[in-house]
Amino acid sequence: MTVTVLRLLEAERPEPHGGMVTYLAEAFEPVGAVAWRGELHPHPLRQRYARRGGPASDLVWAKSALLSLGMRPEGPPVQIRTWNLSSIWRIPTHGETVWLKSVPPFFAHEAPLLSALSGQRVPTVLSCEAGRMLLREAPGEDMHDASVSKCKEMVDLLIGLQAMWRDRVDQLLSLGLPDWRGPALIPAIGEVVSRTASQLSTEERAALTGFVEQLPARLAEIASCGLPDTLAHGDFHPGNLRGDGHGLTLIDWGDSGVGHPLLDQPAFFERQPASAIAELKEFWSRRWLELCPRSNPTKAADLIAPIAAARQAVIYRRFLDNIEPAEHPRRSSRAAR
């Protein structure tokens, strides 16, 4: 471990992707680098892993946790990524690779949720504490370029999990998952629209104001379609699944919450070729009809699509509100995490 990257210091441009950027790093031996002439200031939103000594303390915790599990680290840990939403390290141990993931407080529910999902096709939590977790490696590769048939397997995996938790909403909320149901989502969307009104054209403001005003009626119509509130992954797309030819693992549950199961549908379709969407949408609806024979998932999907997009805007605003301003140029897209 010669150099450990801590955080973004400054960027050439204020918006993503930032242009030329400067990072703060800890060097454990002399390295060739251009000296930065700015000033370092503390910030209350700076994460532990973005502070001097933070990654080292995470690794000390990880080593102790591994040894308590009878797992011996072998070789140096490797920093994979650090940014405003997570710090990820790969740690080789005797016989397998373990992943150390540290997250901000607004993702603190990920480890408890994964523990509650133990035994399902999600990452296995070996140990967790205060926003950091040790995860067993999910086998295979990320499935960004999955075929339509493989995407159907992904949808089937998600719906299976959602069906398991449809009668346990209170338990999910007790784990700290955000509430994306109507009574909580309507004011959250309204607040984001209000805060961004000055950045919008007159036509955009009018359209969004009307959208917010009609949310109660739209959500009531969605409820009449007969699908239950349950677990929502929040960032469901092929890149958040890993496969090895024997099965799939659904990873990255930081955006998870409680809400309508079809909140996960539009983001998944954004990453699909247009020729595949109709087939996948029909499959999605058919699977829910098998579980809820009197429901109308096709109608619900059409009604919820703009609400799902608005929920993503709420999450994006939450990210910006909870990461230090210097990191905003790196906050490019939710799919990049």
14, pLDDT greater than 80: no
228, pLDDT greater than 50: yes
What is the per-residue pLDDT for 333? 37
pLDDT band at 330 (very low <50, low <70, confident <90, very high): low
Q: For 45, which DSSP code?
A: T
User: What is the residue range of 189's domain?
Assistant: 141-336
- Measured CA to CA, the distance from residue 259 to residue 185 in angstroms comes to 9
What is the per-residue pLDDT for 132? 96
- Measured CA to CA, the distance from residue 5 to residue 260 in angstroms comes to 38
Selection from 328, 330, 323, 324 nearest residue 17 by Cα: 330
CA atoms within 13 A on the CB side of 85: 19
Residue after which a domain boundary falls, among 136, 167, 187? 136
What is the per-residue pLDDT for 180? 97
Helix (H, G, I), strand (E, B) or coil at 59: helix
- The mean pLDDT value for 71-87 works out to 94
Amino acid code (one letter) for 100: L
61 lies in the same domain as 89? yes
User: Which range among 25-39, 47-61, 132-146, 316-330 shows the weakest confidence by mean pLDDT?
Assistant: 25-39
For residues 105 and 318, is the Cβ–Cβ distance under 8 A?
Answer: no
163 lies in the same domain as 177? yes
pLDDT band at 336 (very low <50, low <70, confident <90, very high): very low
What is the per-residue pLDDT for 79? 96
Q: What size, in residues, is the chain? A: 337
65, pLDDT greater than 80: yes
Q: What is the pLDDT of residues 191-204, one digit of tens each?
A: 999 999 999 999 99
DSSP 275-319: HHHHHHHHHHHHHHHHHSTT--HHHHHHHHHHHHHHHHHHHHHHH
Buried residues in 92-101 as b, exposed as e (16+ CB within 10 A): ebeeeebbbb
Buried residues in 144-169 as b, exposed as e (16+ CB within 10 A): eebeeeebbbbbebbbebbbebbeeb
177 lies in the same domain as 241? yes
What is the per-residue pLDDT for 328? 80
165 lies in the same domain as 113? no
188 lies in the same domain as 75? no
pLDDT band at 121 (very low <50, low <70, confident <90, very high): very high
Q: Which value, in Å, is the radius of gyration of the alpha carbons in the chain?
A: 21
More confident residue, 88 or 21: 88
Residue after which a domain boundary falls, among 120, 136, 152? 136
Whether this model's pTM surpasses 0.85? yes
Selection from 108, 95, 105, 66 nearest residue 253 by Cα: 108
240 lies in the same domain as 98? no
33, pLDDT greater than 80: no
User: Which range among 5-9, 163-167, 186-190 shows the weakest confidence by mean pLDDT?
Assistant: 5-9
CATH number at residue 109: 3.30.200.20
pLDDT band at 85 (very low <50, low <70, confident <90, very high): very high
Strands 257-259 and 230-232 come out as antiparallel
What is the per-residue pLDDT for 21? 79
pLDDT band at 335 (very low <50, low <70, confident <90, very high): very low
337, pLDDT greater than 80: no
67 lies in the same domain as 107? yes
- Measured CA to CA, the distance from residue 58 to residue 63 in angstroms comes to 9
Residue after which a domain boundary falls, among 96, 118, 136? 136
Three state DSSP letters for 142-155: ECCCCCHHHHHHHH
106 lies in the same domain as 119? yes
- Measured CA to CA, the distance from residue 248 to residue 256 in angstroms comes to 18
What is the per-residue pLDDT for 278? 96
Q: What is the pLDDT of residues 132-187, one digit of tens each?
A: 999 999 989 999 999 999 999 999 999 999 999 999 999 999 999 999 999 999 99
Number of domains in the chain: 2
220 lies in the same domain as 328? yes
72 lies in the same domain as 172? no
Q: What is the pLDDT of residues 297-312, one digit of tens each?
A: 999 999 999 999 999 9
- Measured CA to CA, the distance from residue 244 to residue 137 in angstroms comes to 12
272 lies in the same domain as 208? yes
Q: What is the pLDDT of residues 253-287, one digit of tens each?
A: 999 999 999 999 999 999 899 999 999 999 999 99
64 lies in the same domain as 181? no
CATH number at residue 181: 3.90.1200.10
CA 157 to chain centre: 17
What is the per-residue pLDDT for 251? 97
- The mean pLDDT value for 97-125 works out to 97
